Amino acid sequence: MRAHMNKRHPLAGKRMTGAEMIIQVLAQEGVDTVFGYTGGAILPTYDAIFRYNIEHETDKREQIQLIVPANEQGAGFMAAGYARASGKVGVFVVTSGPAATNSVTPIRDSMADSVPVVLICGQVARSAIGSDAFQEAPVFNVMSPCAKHVFLVEEPEDLEATVRTAFGIARSGRPGPVVIDVPKDVQNWEGVFKGEGVLRFRGYENRMKALAEARLLPEECNEFLNLLKKSERPLICAGGGVISGDAAVHLRQFSEKFQIPVVTTLMGIGSVDTTNELSLHMLGMHGMAYANYAVMDCDFLITIGARFDDRVAGKVQEFAPNARFLAHIDIDAAEIGKVKSVTWSHVGAAREALIDIMHAGKDFKKDYSKWIEHIQGLKQQHILNYDRESEKIQPYHVIECLNEITRGEAIVCTGVGQHQMWAAQYFDFKNPRSLLTSGSMGTMGFGLPAAIGAQIAFPDRLVIDVDGDGSMRMNLGELETTTTYELPVKVMVLNNLGDGMVRQWQRLYFGNRFSGSDKSLRRKDFVKTAESDGFEYAVRLSDKAKLKETLQEFVSFKGPAFLEVMVDPEANVYPMVGPGMGYNEMITGDYIAGRTPGDGLFEKTSQKSDSF
């Protein structure tokens, strides 16, 4: 937990309400934006925000911007998008009862993807807790399984330290969401503001101290380097921990120094420049064919900040079948050996571990040129491809054309489904924190509010929400939020008239029975909806010949822009490793070259699946 060693706070010793203390701590923690929706049990805190901003009217840089969404779930994903893009702690503030329960999904989503956010919930007065009072919900009980930590502030004197502690917990170690449930009478209580102090959790503090001091010893580095020396085909698997640990620069240096190719998980995309010759982009269920083949061929898999989830490891016993050695670096000890047994491991920050190994291996020499040549051959032979002659607009083509415009520099947010995978596959990402997507939870409706949060964090960067018609419906109300705050977010909906990923599974495993997934009879006019919400650029595209010029207009538009592209509803995401299957059973479709063309993989995967 971060120690607060700043100079004495200028307001220390002043009497103020609990709500005012909350806002002062937010300001002290460097919070410049709060996302949220007000209501009875949180009114004192919202009033404190208003009064704080009036007091700082002469210097707007000191104010805390308040972004009001259409729904509390939207607020949570905005805070998460802000955090994912910036690396700072995202903050959202909501009232009690239904507002708090609406916030469960973004809290669980942030926990699953290790995103640092702080949620401050209003709660009924302490005397009414447990009485089924108006808009009461058992926030502590509901949130505890979903968050990194939950506080119910029962003693007003602990409020200030609790808020400060929440930030320390959210950002330290493996980042995650922290919830603070604040009864209304605690917000109205008056006391002396101290300007410093945190709650003490000795066990947690000791673990964080150990992690901060966890450096690799020379003998441990030598053990790793000896494995590397014995290897002929080393491969790095980089996960989201590389990005959240600010280790992307060091990973790139590590890869270049030792000439080791890199595959990334979905959450790890951007940890290396995807245009670099050593990058193999994404592995896993919908990873690049050549990335998965490289995993099959490697003899030393070096996993950094990744957790071998089911979308990556598939059939665990057949994952990396030729790897004689497996190294694992992670800040969470629980991940080491949880899924795959390892030869060498280190619990600690990825950045420091990479620095230590590079220092110890400054004179290391090993020629991996044959392996690199093999990797380049895989990339050429098994390149992504699709039906380029189709008269229908292919979603892959849309992303390819958009990528020619963005050149790997945009912040791309997505909903969940086929469009999410196409965005991950066909965009280039030159920088970390450039792909913001709901990885573990797979939450539809994530993309638009996350894009709003990212645009708030980076007002001058190009932020694009690549969405599907199904995901767009989930948080459609946030279109108005985009225009209300005049945010130049670019919203693109790939409309295939249904839940595309579900339909793909229904084609493969459920005999083309499209139960609940066909939306072709839905009456929603997305363009009119965008126009009614204030989008001056709102266009529907169905003519393939106009694709490139329309995309250029869309991206170049100065304000918020909405583009609906009617794409081929039969388009599938390939490659695909079926649930519970190994990489050797990967389906590559008709246009991506597999290793053994015509071997009947489609027939092998026609069984029913219990895992979506």
What are the catalytic residues?
72, 134-135, 184, 501
What is the residue type of 429? Answer: F
What CA–CA distance (Å, rounded) separates 352 from 357?
A: 9
Cα separations in angstroms, 174 against 6, 34, 146, 147, 335? 24, 23, 15, 12, 11
Q: Which two tokens stand for residue 559?
A: 């304000």
d(CA 542, CA 548): 12
In the block, residue with structure tokens 């901060």: 212
CA distance 409 to 83: 18
Question: For the stretch 371-392, what's the b/e string if a residue is b when 16 or more beta carbons lie within 10 angstroms of its beta carbon?
Answer: bbebbeebbeebebebbeeeee
Beta carbons within 10 angstroms of residue 549's beta carbon: 11
State the amino acid at position 161 in one-letter form: A
CB 437 within 8 A of CB 424: yes
Q: What share of the chain is helix, strand, coil (3-state, %, to 5)?
A: 40, 15, 45
For residue 46, the SS3 value is helix
Structure tokens, 52: 């704080």
Q: Which residues pair with 16 in a beta bridge?
A: 191
Q: Are 551 and 398 in contact (CB under 8 A)?
A: yes
197: left (phi over 0), alpha (psi -120 to 50) or beta: left
326-to-61, 227, 300 alpha-carbon distances in Å = 49, 9, 6
Residue where the block lists tokens 């595309």? 500
**Mind giving me the DSSP string for 221-235?**
HHHHHHHHHH-SSEE
Burial 429-442 (b: 16+ CB within 10 A, else e): bbebbbbbbbbbbb
